[in-house]
Amino acid sequence: MKKLSARRRHPLAAVVVLLLALAATGGLYAVFAPADKAQADTTAQSLAIEEGKKLYAVGCASCHGTGGQGSTDGPPLVGVGAAAVDFQVGTGRMPLQQQSAQAPKKKVIYSQAEIDQLAAFVASLGAGPEIPTKQQYDPAGADAAKGGELFRTNCAQCHNFTGQGGALTHGKYAPSLEGVSPKHLYEAMQTGPQNMPSFPDTTMTEQNKKDIIAYVDAVNGDKTVSPGGLNLGGLGPVSEGLFAWIFGLGALIAVAVWVAARTAKAKKS
Ligand code: HEC
Ligand code: HEC
């Protein structure tokens, strides 16, 4: 006890205490300061934009212009948003190889990390729809029946009743939705690529989009189970009606002929 109080009175004691206190506050600040993480995020973000800018200059600028202002070979990208880039590049539509009625799906040539960088750069040119999170597009727990209803009123006129796809005018077509990932389904609705109308959250809520994704998943998922029995190609009322006419009516005629033959025989005897 004596020893301690002797040390306390030591001329350096105050300095040591002050230093310790400073170190403690500094340490606590480093642990709890939110600004640090935010700063790290913005550095990562600006790094991604920087990398994306380089990729863009090589692969996209020739058609879309160095600043995304567009040219005779491609539309402006200012304000199309990260979601449009993720969809167009992630499905292999972009970079376009040759001008045609419609940019076709091709082999994807960029890694997802590079696509994210391209998307970050394009998003930095002007605000637009962001890449949806898994929570937004994951169809788990969504209502597939409601989705079917929404699909028939909003999408079936182009993509057919179970998303088989169909031809449009001037060599354009609505592609089959089989095997399209939930994320790309969501982004297509959000951004409306080419001749497809867009369905922003104001006209179609996030939940509605999820329901539609659940429906498309259900009709395309397992080809061996079809909720209505034989799926007849899933082409909708025409093929189903034709099936009813040919086989249904055929069966009725066969029964009628059989009954007539029986009664004729019965009369004879
Ligand atoms: C050979 C020219 C060409 C190249 C190269 C090209 N694009 Fe495109 N891009 C187009 C054309 C043309 C369209 C419009 C397609 C249509 O509407 O038929 C388009 C459309 C887009 C769209 C959709 C815009 C919207 O309004 O939704 C995005 C996003 C896009 N391109 C991104 C890119 C990115 C990113 C690259 C580079 C990896 C790239 N493009 C490379 C020609 C090109
Ligand atoms: C007016 C016709 C039209 C309507 C309505 C329409 N689409 Fe499309 N859709 C298209 C066309 C055309 C394309 C091809 C665009 C392209 O290749 O860039 C397309 C592309 C898509 C793709 C991309 C498929 C792929 O292979 O990558 C998805 C997903 C999609 N549509 C979903 C939907 C959904 C879901 C709805 C309803 C909410 C819908 N579409 C409504 C015409 C339409």
Question: How confident is the model over 4-37, as pLDDT tens digits?
Answer: 566 667 777 888 887 888 888 777 776 666 665 6
pLDDT confidence of residue 233: 59
pLDDT confidence of residue 3: 61
What is Dmax (Cα atoms) for the chain? 136
pLDDT confidence of residue 68: 93
- Which has the minimum average pLDDT: 133-147, 175-189, 218-232? 218-232
- Which has the minimum average pLDDT: 31-45, 124-138, 169-183? 31-45
Ligand 1 atom 9, closest CA:
74
> How far out from the chain centre does Cα 29 lie?
40
Place of tokens 């009322």: 237
Q: Which ligand is nearest to the CA of 56?
A: 1
**Ligand 2 centroid to residue 170 C-alpha, Å:** 16
| Residues in a beta bridge with 174 | 166
pLDDT confidence of residue 33: 65
Task: Count the neighbouring beta carbons within 10 Å of the beta carbon of residue 156.
Answer: 18
Ligand 1 atom 32, closest CA:
85
User: Over the stretch 185-233, which tens digit does the pLDDT of each residue have?
Assistant: 999 999 999 989 999 999 999 999 999 999 998 887 655 455 555 666 5
Rounded-to-integer distance, Cα 248 and Cα 226, Å:
20
The set of protein residues with a Cβ atom below 6 angstroms from ligand 1 is 59-60, 62-64, 73-75, 77, 80, 84-85, 88-89, 94-96, 102-103, 118, 191, 193-194
Kindly report the CATH class assigned to 35-125: mainly alpha
Q: Is the pLDDT of residue 66 over 80?
A: yes
Place of tokens 């539509």: 93
Task: Count the neighbouring beta carbons within 10 Å of the beta carbon of residue 224.
Answer: 4
pLDDT confidence of residue 21: 83
pLDDT confidence of residue 235: 60
Q: Is the pLDDT of residue 177 over 80?
A: yes
Distances (CA, A) of 21 to 8, 15, 25, 30: 16, 10, 6, 14
DSSP H/E element including 174: strand 173-174
Rounded-to-integer distance, Cα 164 and Cα 157, Å:
11
Could you tell me the residue ranges of all domains in the chain?
A: 35-125, 134-221
CATH superfamily for 134-221 is Cytochrome c-like domain (1.10.760.10)
Residues 109-125 have a mean pLDDT of 95
Is pTM beyond 0.75? Reply is yes
User: Over the stretch 151-172, which tens digit does the pLDDT of each residue have?
Assistant: 999 999 999 887 888 888 888 8
Find out whether 183 and 137 touch, Cβ atoms under 8 Å.
Answer: yes
pLDDT confidence of residue 198: 94
pLDDT confidence of residue 203: 92
Rounded to the nearest 5°, which phi and psi values hold at 219?
Answer: -80, -20
Which mutation among 49, 96, 111 tests ligand 1's pocket best, with the greatest number of atoms within 8 A of CB?
96
User: Over the stretch 86-105, which tens digit does the pLDDT of each residue have?
Assistant: 999 999 999 998 888 889 89
**Ligand 1 centroid to residue 123 C-alpha, Å:** 14
pLDDT confidence of residue 4: 58
